[in-house]
Amino acid sequence: MLTIYNVNSLVHWEERDIKLRDDFVRFFSDEVASFLRSSNPAWDIRRVEAPTLMPRNLVSDAYSNSDIWAQQQMSNTEAELVLRPETTPSTYIYMQHLLVNH
């Protein structure tokens, strides 16, 4: 884990930590799902991940393109895509950290 921001113990997770965290998530979610299904087979638990890029028209107009990263459109027929706003600042600071330290 890295504390690049140096604010309130906010961390950036690196590959090893992410894999370990994923193992914990998998184990505990499987245990909880198994327990719930043994009590009531109607329980249905699903995990969903949304794409990192999303259509610009789904992002609030409160964000300008200087607030978020927008993919360059090569033609007017291409969909305007942006990074999900909530990931942008953290992604930028982590990439900056990598560029400075490698």
- Domain locations in the chain as residue ranges: 1-48, 51-102
What share of the chain has pLDDT > 70, as a percent? 94
User: Under 8 Å CB-to-CB from 73, ≥6 apart: which residues?
Assistant: 80
pLDDT band at 21 (very low <50, low <70, confident <90, very high): very high
Strand ranges for the chain from DSSP E: 53-55, 81-83
Average confidence (pLDDT) over 34-39: 96
Strand partners, 54: 82
pTM given for the model: 0.48
pLDDT, averaged across the chain:
86
Question: From residue 41, how far is each of 30, 44, 48 by CA, in Å?
Answer: 14, 8, 21
